[in-house]
Amino acid sequence: MPATDPDLTSSPDHPTARRPGHPPGSPTTRPDSPDEIAGDPAGPAGDTSSAGDASPAGETGSAADAASPLLTSAGSLLFQADDAVPELHDLLTEQLPEVWTRLTRTGIGLDLVAQVTGELAAEIVGLVQIDVVGAALRAWAGSQSARTAARASAGPPPSTQTLVLGPHTLTSVVERSIEILVGDLQVASIPISLELSVDASHASVTAQAGRLVRLRPGPAEIALTLSVASRVVRTARGALPLPASIPLGRWAPLDEDPLPDRGSETAPPEPAGAPGRLPRQRV
């Protein structure tokens, strides 16, 4: 379970939850950016083509190839934008009665319990603002088969390898936790899990000289499962909008940015400082 920030403070009357490094009053949530999840599709500054990867006619190899789909977030599939926090507030009230009972036993009033529930809901809604296309790219790039193709292309001599995949499923899981405290007493530690599962009809991944340079995916669907305290609170499924050809830029060689070997097609974990980490809530 990721560590939480022990330095957050709030007044007894107005419990707050903010991310590590955010000053008081700053926004507590923001979407993960495509660059943080999938790498920079355009490569280094000034480089608008994939290393040695000849683009088909009409392709520029720039970030614009995937700009529109990269705006799709897991949150938009799980919840209606205007109703996300109130809807999740009601779900948490129904699904976590033992947590709210523990809070009231400490002498906290029902109005403050409702406020804490709302803040927890807001934090979770912030967590699920994850770019699903970027997460899918990380899953493809982190798969064992893609890593094997990239290693083979490293040589000697360096070569270009194209890996063709039939129907397959890729899975990525984001896990966080949030602690609820009354003073210095920890009342609850609530695990949050978001599972993203991509079902693809086919895809091809091109690697050159040890680098992944281009993905050409076929039609795909994504399934999302949001769990709070080991209870499934929301699921969703829908089409995953993907361009026919996605430049991966000068993706780091495997020996510079190693991804863990896995027996299944599973995405690598996010960096420790990735957006979406949930802090403590102090009442």
- Structural domain includes residue 185: yes
Give the whole-angstrom CA distance, residue 60 versus residue 49: 7
- Structural domain includes residue 244: yes
Question: CA-CA distances (angstroms) from residue 149 to 43, 164, 209, 273?
Answer: 20, 10, 10, 29
- Structural domain includes residue 252: yes
What is the separation of C-alpha 40 from the centre of its chain, rounded to a whole number of angstroms? 16
Give SS3 for 242: coil
Residue with tokens 């979407």: 31
What is the separation of C-alpha 68 from the centre of its chain, rounded to a whole number of angstroms? 18
Domain of 161 in residue numbering reads as 64-270+277-282
Residue with tokens 């499934």: 232
1 forms bridges with which residues in the sheet? none
pLDDT reported for residue 251 = 53
pLDDT reported for residue 47 = 34
Helices (H), the chain: 34-38, 74-78, 84-95, 97-105, 110-127, 132-142, 144-153
> Residue 153: is it exposed, middle or buried by C-beta count within 10 angstroms (0-12/13-18/19+)?
buried
- Structural domain includes residue 18: no
- Structural domain includes residue 213: yes
Structure tokens at 252: 């780091």
- Structural domain includes residue 11: no
pLDDT reported for residue 183 = 86
Largest CA distance in the chain: 71
pLDDT reported for residue 282 = 53
Give the whole-angstrom CA distance, residue 24 versus residue 5: 14
> Residue 203: is it exposed, middle or buried by C-beta count within 10 angstroms (0-12/13-18/19+)?
buried
pLDDT reported for residue 84 = 94
* 142, 259 contact by CB (below 8 A): yes
pLDDT reported for residue 41 = 35
Q: Give how many domains the chain has, as a whole number.
A: 1
pLDDT along the chain (283 residues), means of 10: 33 37 33 33 34 37 38 85 91 93 90 93 93 89 89 93 94 92 90 96 94 94 96 95 84 46 38 40 52
- Structural domain includes residue 39: no
pLDDT reported for residue 124 = 95
